[in-house]
Structure 1
Amino acid sequence: MKFNEIKNLNPQLLKSLNEINFIDMSPIQEKTIPLALKGFDIIGQAETGTGKTGAFGIPILNSLNSDIKNIEHLIITPTRELAKQINDQLLKIGKYLNPKIALILGGVPYEKQVKQLSLKPNILIGTPGRIIDFLKSKRIKLCNIKTFTLDEADELLNMGFKEDIETISSFLPKKRQNFFFTATFDEKTKKLVELIVDNNHKNISVSSGLKTSSNIKQEYILVKEKTKFTSLIKMLQFYQPNSIIIFCRTKRRVDELNEALRKLNFDAIGIHGDIQQKNRTFIMNQFRNNKKKILIATDVVARGIDIEHIEWIINFDLPQEIEYYTHRIGRVGRNGNKGYSLSFVKIDEIEHLKEIERKTKSKIKEIQIPNEEEIYKNWRKTIDQKFNLIIKNFDDENPFYLEEELVNKFSHKEMAIIITHYLLKEKHKYKKINLTPEPSVILKGQAKIRNIKNKINHFYKNNNSKKKLNK
């Protein structure tokens, strides 16, 4: 279904959609928008990258009256990055509707946000903690809210925002339209649904649960903790991907890995939750605008970040929660594009990886790190490229007396050795870098019990026994 087939869609909205080449609706949009325009509450289950922002954003913008000086639409997200991305998307889609949007986020100076509120916005996008701060200080009033949107509701709960959401909803009028979007459903999510949405709601699901996209080639290498960094360098130097996110489990790991890669002249930048918001925005813009090739991150960017040029996802550390594996690698393979994910797995993490395979319905193939001969050939190619670049950019004004002195002093072989050593000095530098070890990710709970049962059953089967563990 195409956007121009939707009844009662504002022509100015359709005009901006055409300009940004939004012609065909995604499945979640096709199922959601017509019902949302009729006023139904929506419970939508879909992963990031499926067009959810348009699914709730277009109905919101379609009902927008920019002449009204009240906040009529409230959107809550788990992270600042996702809030900023929704803001940017709504401004694009609503280009000719003049939406006035305020971003209320933690980590940003209050004065800047107070100034945004003084402009009488129609739409408020924010993270729960800061919104509550503004409600308690009576800087914002939400008594005129027409639509209330929770995006990535399951992640809001995972981050401990349940009470905050309950508090915020207590400030809202009971008569309103609700959009509730989540990637996964569990008992906690269902209870929050009961609190937020009307009984006369519509359930829409285009989610495959934890299933990963068939557009993503998934592989892993078996490593020891102490060889992770050298293995990473070999993979980066050999394959030379242009745009990568490397996921780490902790903030410390992000900082250490970022510093180590930058020492080796890799074009890297790191991001995690302890970095100030203005710096996080700068970091994301650097990566988004191709000014940095490598983004090293915690799971703060595992959801909602839509950057088309990303080629590789590297799980430097496996996530404990399997859903985060799906979200992480979901940064590639979007909008029909092909993507690649590579996981670094320690021997005691194999069972956890097998559980990831099972739950995500994925095939994750083991590969080997390029051998020394392959790396050597690649380095030779790199040397040739660097030599050619030096010759190409040679400045005729360089002092010829120095050139003549070097030629007279050193043989051709000695000169070649000196230059090669200089060009490849990074090769040996990384061997001196040690990261703080991270503990392995191992199976827990029912997954661990199931794995033990499977091993026992496998043992009985291999020993030609009819016994089988049933309990």
Structure 2
Amino acid sequence: MAAGEEEGAAAGTETESEAAVEELRSFKDLGVTDVLCEACDQLGWKVPTKIQVEAIPVALQGRDVIGLAETGSGKTGAFALPILQALLETPQRLFALVLTPTRELAFQISEQFEALGSSIGVQTTVIVGGIDTMSQSLALAKKPHVIIATPGRLVDHLENTKGFNLRALKFLVMDEADRILNMDFETEVDKILKVIPRDRKTFLFSATMTKKVQKLQRAALKNPVKCAVSSKYQTVEKLQQYYIFIPSKFKDSYLVYILNELAGNSFMIFCSTCNNTQRTALLLRNLGFTAIPLHGQMSQNKRLGSLNKFKAKARSILLATDVASRGLDIPHVDVVINFDIPTHSKDYIHRVGRTARAGRSGKSITFVTQYDVELFQRIEHLIGKKLPAFPMQEEEVMMLTERVAEAQRIARMELREQGEKKRSRNDNDDDTEEAIGVRNKVAGGKKKKRKAF
């Protein structure tokens, strides 16, 4: 395809894809094989999404794909189905690698691969930080069909796990590529690209086409087809968006008021730091709310535990940092609260995209203090609309301040205790490491430096 033709095709994607969705009523129409169509049916995927309509036929033809689509648009299916179909045609171990920015997203993609490929016996392995490397090395030794990994931990295994390499790899997927690069994984991605075959198929999926993503596209993809189903930043029509303008010192009281006002809903509350996430979760628990935190300083098991409790509706409030703002598919979030306003306006789109998914309605409420006005104006400019104020009864909020102040005091004490426990645990770990070091010296055993790649 000539460059001009390709640009013309890309420009017409929006209208063509809408027409295509009308015509294509099933995955079978896209060229997906019967056994995988049945798997889609069992997962409740009745009709392909826009990005699936655009990307699957192109991928099945053996082309490299750049998929531009917002979060919650069915991107995983758009790359998982062509990979599984190719695996059916030429069965092979260590067949595909999917790179993702966060651990939770890696586990979610793994679940979808296993669900879609359950009838054909697909084996996947998740390689992420926060989990014992020895058990991961054993899983890699079994040579799964698909590896889903965060870049840092994968490079660690490529450099240090004996016998593990990706020289036979047929497919590379970079999901949420803009976020992978924003999290400064460029060096790791470069290392991975150097040790995998050049003769492979590459799918690059991203919500935004940044300069870094364009650079990566040039380095990693060969004559790709661009499948864009959303060119501008936008929020879903069925999402009701509000803001509340409040004094910074009463933020906690306003949060408690809103949780009481909208009781019976499930909430995702976004905070800017791990510490504030933990503190607010403790505060809400002290006031009798079923709140659980999810942030980067928790162990991987605790993070998955929190996510699963919320997904299973055992807890109605999930407090999270931006680790949970993208990619995670939690179907039943009714309300998103931006307790701390996001510093990057684009993160607002991803956060509020946790609700009003798959055609359902939802609410989002953004807290704006005297320090956040400029950030809030940037968000309104980005989404191209002025948000209405959420209706509040100020007197009722002020009646809560005494109870909230007491809960804040207890939460601070609990946070301090948790910090002290963590410090003493780390001290014990240091002692153990010192003892091991002494033992090794006595035994004369110096560890050999392992070769990189």
What TM-score range do you get, normalising by the shorter chain?
Answer: 0.7 to 0.9
Separation in 1, partners of 2:91, 2:390: 59
Q: What secondary structure is seen at the aligned counterpart in 1 of 2:392?
A: coil
1:119 aligns with 2:142: yes
Structure 2 counterparts to residues 316-335 of structure 1, below 5 A: 316-335=339-358
Q: In structure 1, which of residues 42, 45, 58 is the aligned counterpart of residue 65 of structure 2?
A: 42
1:19 aligns with 2:38: no
Q: What amino acid is aligned across from residue 245 of structure 1 in structure 2?
A: M
Q: Partner of 2:441 in structure 1? A: none
Separation in 2, partners of 1:287, 1:68: 37
Q: Partner of 1:405 in structure 2? A: none
Q: In structure 2, which of residues 128, 136, 141 is the aligned counterpart of residue 105 of structure 1?
A: 128
Q: What secondary structure is seen at the aligned counterpart in 2 of 1:63?
A: helix
What residue ranges of structure 2 are gaps of 5+ in the alignment?
1-23, 413-453
Q: Partner of 1:285 in structure 2? A: 308
Deviations 1:395-417 (A, max 9, x none): xxxxxxxxxxxxxxxxxxxxxxx
What residue ranges of structure 1 are gaps of 5+ in the alignment?
377-425, 438-471
Q: What amino acid is aligned across from residue 93 of structure 1 in structure 2?
A: L
Structure 2 counterparts to residues 3-82 of structure 1, below 5 A: 3-6=26-29, 8-65=31-88, 68=91, 70-82=93-105
Q: Partner of 2:195 in structure 1? A: 171
Structure with the greater alpha carbon radius of gyration = 1
Q: What secondary structure is seen at the aligned counterpart in 1 of 2:198?
A: coil
How far has the Cα of 1:373 moved from its partner? 6.5
How far has the Cα of 1:434 moved from its partner? 4.2
Separation in 2, partners of 1:373, 1:105: 46
Q: Partner of 2:154 in structure 1? A: 131
Matched-pair identity in %: 35
Separation in 2, partners of 1:3, 1:56: 17
How far has the Cα of 1:116 moved from its partner? 1.8
Task: Answer yes or no: is the 8 Å Cα contact 1:42–1:202 preserved in 2.
Answer: yes
Moved >6 Å (runs of 4+): 373-376
Task: Answer yes or no: is the 8 Å Cα contact 1:3–1:22 preserved in 2.
Answer: no
Separation in 2, partners of 1:275, 1:252: 11
**Aligned-pair Cα RMSD in Å:** 2.1
How far has the Cα of 1:428 moved from its partner? 4.2
Q: What secondary structure is seen at the aligned counterpart in 2 of 1:279?
A: helix
Q: In structure 2, which of residues 179, 188, 193 is the aligned counterpart of residue 155 of structure 1?
A: 179
How far has the Cα of 1:6 moved from its partner? 3.2
Pick which of 17-26 and 1-10 moved more.
1-10
TM-score, normalising length from structure 2?
0.82
1:294 aligns with 2:317: yes
TM-score, normalising length from structure 1?
0.79
Task: Answer yes or no: is the 8 Å Cα contact 2:253–2:398 preserved in 1.
Answer: no
Q: In structure 2, which of residues 394, 403, 406 is the aligned counterpart of residue 432 of structure 1?
A: 406
Task: Answer yes or no: is the 8 Å Cα contact 2:342–2:348 preserved in 1.
Answer: yes
Separation in 2, partners of 1:156, 1:331: 19
Q: What secondary structure is seen at the aligned counterpart in 2 of 1:347?
A: coil
Task: Answer yes or no: is the 8 Å Cα contact 1:218–1:363 preserved in 2.
Answer: no
Separation in 2, partners of 1:92, 1:266: 34
Task: Answer yes or no: is the 8 Å Cα contact 1:153–1:180 preserved in 2.
Answer: yes
Task: Answer yes or no: is the 8 Å Cα contact 2:296–2:323 preserved in 1.
Answer: yes
1:356 aligns with 2:374: no
Aligned residue pairs, count: 387
Q: What amino acid is aligned across from residue 152 of structure 2 in structure 1?
A: G
1:203 aligns with 2:203: no
Q: Partner of 1:401 in structure 2? A: none
Structure 2 counterparts to residues 243-258 of structure 1, below 5 A: 243-258=266-281
Deviations 1:123-172 (A, max 9, x none): 00010011001100144211111110000000001100011101101111
Q: Partner of 2:207 in structure 1? A: 183
Q: What amino acid is aligned across from residue 432 of structure 1 in structure 2?
A: E
Q: In structure 2, which of residues 166, 170, 184 is the aligned counterpart of residue 142 of structure 1?
A: 166
Task: Answer yes or no: is the 8 Å Cα contact 2:130–2:299 preserved in 1.
Answer: yes
How far has the Cα of 1:52 moved from its partner? 0.2
Task: Answer yes or no: is the 8 Å Cα contact 1:33–1:58 preserved in 2.
Answer: yes
Q: What secondary structure is seen at the aligned counterpart in 2 of 1:6?
A: helix
Task: Answer yes or no: is the 8 Å Cα contact 1:241–1:311 preserved in 2.
Answer: no
